[in-house]
Chain A
Amino acid sequence: MSFFTEGLNRLVGRGDAAITVPPMDGPFRANNIIEDAEVVTELSDGVDIAFDGSKLWLAQGNELSCLLPDGKRQICARFDGPLTAIAAVPNVGIAVAVNARNISIYNGKVESLGHRTPAGKPFYSITSISPASDGSLYVADASRKNRPDAWTRDLLEHGKTGRVCQVFTDSTLDKQLISGLRYVAGVMVADNGLWISESWAHQIVSVDLAAVKTQPAQITARLPAYAGRMTATSDGGAWVCMFSARRRLVELVLRERRFRRLMMQEVDPRYWIAPMLSSGNSFQEPLQGGNVKSMGISKPWAPPRSYGLVVRLDPLGQPLYSLHSRTDGRHHGIVSAVEAYGALYMLSKGANLLLKVRLSEIEEHFL
């Protein structure tokens, strides 16, 4: 885009300067399913969940645990750093990302895969792991600049250093499949290729694993929220966790370079004008004094910063329906969702809760 066109767009509010957000309608139409979901257990520092066909696994802080039928947790392993992602690998065990840099396998005992450096670069921000049919692992290295807990900074810096790599458990012939992505928060092996959620690009792309050159193809674009981890469903579709919703205010801030720089320098990250996993916890959060005039009455209002959203995709990647915890809810910041025991388990990092909704209830609601 030429300097002239960009200047004109900024002046009249078109193109990138339009500062608009796709509406949450159709398959994204709001409901309260996540807000009304059953609370299974409290899970402070919860990071990720996975299901291996018999057990539901939980990553929490430095611990890997599994959920017992009575709802209690049994700690299975402790690691020397915080976990950032887990995945159930058939016939191998549970793959665990430790410190966002290393991968270990748990199958009764912990076995580290060592220091891996696909394309000569070590991992820096592992956010998601998906097992391939050949036993290898597809690993989402979200950003080369910011750690997983600094994802808001990566967004505000317009980070595009994400990559997806293939890691072999039985060899070190790792390879980098694709790089230069705008934050890879999720990766999933689907029937028609490898699905990658590119959070800051608000899209999910697919990579044909059989192709010699891995060119990503868009399967769902212009999402109204930031796409995160994905898990497969039995019909070939997927559940996508949208860890926060897009807002026009944030879109505006993302266009204001100087404002962002000053904000990141001077303001506590908790109070940035940026999407969050939970909000409403402090009066110091931005714009609490905002108000909106509706039907002639001034009402106190603050632009929402967090949201709870999980989207169901069909096998082609088209959204079918979605589950919500709306702005006035608490079950925000859903970072992981898996089908297990006839229910959808969701990890709300915003509320530090493990939630559950029966699949039959979801079907009844939408089908």
Chain B
Amino acid sequence: MTGDTIIELRNASKRYGGVPAVENISFDLKRGEVHGLVGENGAGKSTLTKMIAGVVLLSEGELWVEGRKVDISNPHEASKLGVAMVFQETSLVPTMTVAQNLHLGNEKFFNRLRGVYIAAQQFLQSLNFDVDPTHLVSQLGAAKKQMVEIARAVLQDAKVIIFDEPTATLTPEEKLHFFNLVDVLKARGVAIIFISHALEEALQISDRITVLRDGRHVITDITPALDHASIVRAMVGRDLKDSIYAEKKLDARKPGKRLLCVQDLRVAPVVRNTSFSVFSGQVTGVFGLIGSGRTETFKVVAGLIKRDFFHGGEIMLNDRPVRYRTPAAAVLDKVAYITEDRKLEGFFETMSIGRNIYMGTLATAHDKGVLTSKSVENTLGRKWVDRLSVRAISANAKIIELSGGNQQKVVIAKSLAQNPDLIIFDEPTHGVDVGAIDEIHQLINDLADEGKAVVVISSYLPEIMSLSDRILVCRQGKVVDEFDCAEATNDLIMYASVH
């Protein structure tokens, strides 16, 4: 171990019930370097970093921190050694405010709340994160939660920070701030492990990159020696197309019947008199910066939140006004919303794949029984595991044991089992690997080809451009522009979303 190596894993393995998640991996991290960690979902990236952060224990191998062999048995011990981790799915306390979450772990016997808020405000501003410290975390969107999570790691003054998909929900502008923050941390001598499915980002900010595949180490090299194609080849063991996303779409599908028509919808203060339509047989992409009200708008459509009581506007589904008080009513009307925050809202993590999918069908009209059926559950599980190529030992595997991409497929299956006509995907490929992105995109296209009305809300412009037949741009709580897929460009869409 050289003097500037801060973390070193030697021949580390982790097994769950005899099944290896990572096997015989050696990995080192130098002081002041950004180390990119890439691989498909299930490659072992999260497990590897969780071993370093004390979230999971090593089955075999050694962990060395600053030249000292250590046995980290929990995150608190890792924190004391200067290791902090920003998780892919946030680990904040939802019932506390942003400031309280940042302050968590540093409490004194008496805490002056005003001081905590002021300190949090100053700290968040210094990071250029636009988050109100007085807001409850449960009220924040996924992107803002991610910002708080990052801020918390930075605040701990850690020597090693592990970022697991930190940019997945950030807007391009926020990503820029994040990259600047990484530069600042690097200059301070902080070592950073950067896990990302966005290879361009990894190539942009990493000094070295390690590629994992199927729980094994494939390659570690300095970034200038690698390129996009060589990383993808190492990740999947074969050549893939150059881009994660397909080429920009040029031919739009013809619109079918207007399935959804939102007229002057209002959800103060986020959604302000927004109006738009969604047509059958098309993929409607919805792009907007965080806070533009895109998610809230579609949550109202799906009955997850309610519009304003007074003059809240109208939602017409199949030319019929609807006002859902619960998501179950929307499900009965064949509306499915696939959440952006799968861990919190998407599945029951201790239940099996089959049971999760079965839970999705319980709200549908054809399943009104009192008792659940194990055989139906198994059949459903097997059917959707096959159809969506969910990589799991069996349909009885628990969701928590799956990788992010496979969890996302189960969440999608849970909604598709309801046989919806309108499917709203909110950040469908957030935290999903290259191979799964392709599969999920193919599924979205298949659904539109079947005549379903598909809405894709995404922060990734390339994803919006490759999938959408028409693109709606949200700004300040309303749809402000619409583009045909052929005419849309990054510049036009970004201009519409910020001006």
Contacts and interface: CB of A to CB of B under 8 A. Distances in A.
Contacts of B255: 26-27, 318, 320
Interface string B246-262: 00000000111110011
B256 A22 contact: no
Interface string B321-357: 1010000000000000000000000000000000000
Contacts of A15: 321
B453 to A, nearest CB: 11
Given A15-B321, A29-B482, A221-B319, A23 B312 contact: no
Interface stretch (B199-207, B275-283, B420-428, B429-437): B275-283
Nearest to A21: B263
Determine which residue in B279, B323, B484 has the highest number of CB atoms from chain A within 10 A of its CB, and name it.
Answer: B279
Interface in A1-28: 12-15, 18-23, 25-27
Contacts of A22: 261, 263, 275, 277, 316
Interface residues of A, number: 20
B275 A23 contact: yes
A301 B323 CA distance: 33
Contacts of A29: 482, 484
Given A26-B255, A29-B482, A20 B309 contact: no
- SS of A interface (majority): loop
Contact of B279 (A12, A26, A248): A26
Contacts of A20: 263-264, 275, 313-314
A158 interface: no
A18 B316 CA distance: 12
Given A25-B277, A26-B279, A18 B310 contact: no
Given A26-B470, A222-B319, A318-B257, A18 B277 contact: no
B254 A13 contact: no
A13 B311 contact: yes
B306 to A, nearest CB: 12
A224 to B, nearest CB: 10
User: How many of chain B's residues touch chain A, expressed as a range?
Assistant: 20 to 34
Contacts of B312: 13-14
Contact of B311 (A12, A21, A218): A12
A12 B276 contact: no
Among A13, A14, A26, A320, the most chain B Cβ lie within 10 Å of the Cβ of: A26
A19 B266 CA distance: 13
Interface string B460-499: 0000000000101000000100101000000000000000
Contact of A13 (B256, B279, B310, B482): B310
A222 B264 CA distance: 14
B310 A222 contact: no
A12 B263 contact: no
B276 A25 contact: yes
A320 B258 CA distance: 11
Contacts of B256: 318
B485 to A, nearest CB: 13
A23 B263 contact: yes
A134 to B, nearest CB: 33
Contact of B261 (A12, A222, A248): A222
B335 to A, nearest CB: 18
Interface in A55-114: none
A12 B256 CA distance: 33
A26 B254 contact: no
Quick one: which of B261, B279, B472 has the most chain A CB within 10 A? Answer: B261
A14 B265 CA distance: 11
B322 to A, nearest CB: 12
Of A12, A13, A25, most B-chain CB atoms within 10 Å: A25
Contacts of B479: 23, 25
Contact of B276 (A18, A19, A23, A27): A23
Contacts of A320: 254-255
A12 B309 contact: yes
A18 B309 contact: no
Nearest to B311: A13
21 contacts: A12-B311, A13-B310, A13-B312, A14-B312, A18-B263, A19-B264, A20-B263, A20-B264, A20-B314, A22-B263, A22-B275, A22-B277, A23-B262, A23-B263, A23-B275, A23-B277, A25-B275, A26-B482, A29-B482, A222-B316, A320-B254
Interface of A: 12-15, 18-23, 25-27, 29, 218, 221-222, 248, 318, 320
Given A21-B275, A25-B482, A26-B255, 7 more contacts: A13-B310, A20-B313, A26-B470, A26-B482, A29-B484, A222-B258, A318-B255
